[in-house]
Amino acid sequence: MCNVELSVPVLIKNVNSLWVFSGENAITIQLFLSKYVIIVLKQSPSLLCCPVCGKHLALEERRYICSAGHSFDLARQGYVNLLQSRRRQSRHPGDNNEMVQCRRRFLAQGYYAAIATLINQKVRDHLGVQVSEQNNQLLDVGCGEGYYLQRLLRDGSKNGIEVSGVYGLDISKSAIIAAARLLPGVTWMVGSAVKLPFHSRSLDVVLCVFSRICAVEFARVLKPGGILLIAVPGEAHLLSLRKLIYDKVRPHQAAKHEKGLTEYFVRDASERVNYELHLNGAETILDLLAMTPYYWSISAEKKATLAKRQKLDVSVDVNVISLRLNNTFKLD
C-alpha cells in the first residue's frame, strides 16, 4: 500500500468499480497497486461558451464566468446549470427524479449493455486514429443519468484511451444530479441541445443516444474530422411493449432520424443491435416503460394492466450510426 497525491484528473479503477477525480484540489488517496489502475486524463481549457452572450466561459473557483460578467455557479453536487429560461418548455423539463431512478435500475441490470459496447467500439475506433493529437474532447448529448459515459470511460480505461475532456449535457436537472454522483470528474451541465454551450469546432465526438437530434448544432460544435454517433430505434424496437400500449402499432421508421442530418453529415457506417429481452417482475417492466416516450401517452388503465404483469418478452432493435461532416458544410 502507498500514498499517492493527485493534482491532475484521473480515473481510478478496479475490477468492479470506477472512480473519477477531477483534480481541482489535490487529494491524497491510498492504493493497493496490485488491484487498481490509474489512467491520467489530460487537463484542457474550458470549451464552454456563455449561453447568454456566447463569450468564452472560464472556470474560476466554484463558478464559470465570461468576460461580460455572466456567472454560473457549480452546484454542490458538481454540475453547472446553463439552461436559459427561454429554452424551458416547463418549469422542470426532461425526466423527473422517479424516471431517472427507473432508468438507473433498468440499465444497471445490463439490458442495454450490448448497445453501450458497440458505441464504445465506435468511439475507440475513431479516437484510436487520433492518438497523435491527444486532445480528444467528447460530449454526450441527452446523457441522462450517465450510464453510457460510465461504460465508455470504463471500457476506455482498459484500452488506454486518453480523453482530455468528457462532457455530459441533459435538459433534466434530476438526471444531471444523478450523473454527477455517478462520475464526479466529468463536466456535467444542465442545458439544451438546441443551443449547445460549446465553442464551434471544439469537439471530436458527439454522442446522441435515444435523444433529440439537433443536426445544425452538432455540426457546428464538431471539429473537422470529428464524428457524430447516434443510437436510434429500429423497426422492431420494443414492439411487444408498444402493442400493450397502443391499439394500432406502426414499425419505427429508422430513416426518419437521418432525414434532418443529410444537409450537414454523410453516413460513415451503421450497425444494428438486435436481441430479445426476457423481463421478470412488474417493477422492471415499469422501469422500461419510464425510459420511453410511451410513458407520457399510456392511459392509466393500460398502465395499471401493465403493472400486473410479471413477465414480458421484448425485442431490442437499435441502429448505431456514425456520421461525419459533409464537405459542403460551412460555419456562418
pLDDT per residue over 20-66, tens digit each?
433 333 333 333 333 333 333 444 568 999 999 999 999 998 999 99
Question: Can you give the pLDDT at residue 78?
Answer: 94
User: 289 falls in which pLDDT band (50, 70, 90)?
Assistant: very high
- Identify which of 48, 51, 50, 73 has the alpha carbon closest to the alpha carbon of residue 60: 73
- The mean pLDDT value of the chain amounts to 84
Residue 209, sorted as left (phi over 0), alpha (psi -120 to 50) or beta, turns out to be beta
Class of domain 78-325: alpha beta
pLDDT score of 275 more than 50: yes
What does the buried/exposed string (b/e) look like for 213-243 if buried means 16 or more CB atoms within 10 Å of the residue's CB? bbbebbbbbbbeebbbbbbbbbeebbbebbe
| DSSP bridge partners of 125 | none
The sheet with strand 165-170 has its strands ordered as 79-81, 187-190, 165-170, 137-141, 203-209, 222-233, 311-325, 265-280
DSSP assigned state of 68: T
pLDDT digits (tens, 9 = 90+) for 73-117: 999 999 999 998 765 566 778 899 999 999 999 999 999 999 999
User: 154 falls in which pLDDT band (50, 70, 90)?
Assistant: confident
Count Cα atoms within 13 angstroms, Cβ side, for 3. 4
Q: Where are the domains of the chain?
A: 2-40, 78-325
For residues 131 and 134, give the distance between their C-alpha atoms in angstroms, rounded to a whole number: 5
Average pLDDT on 117-146 reads 85
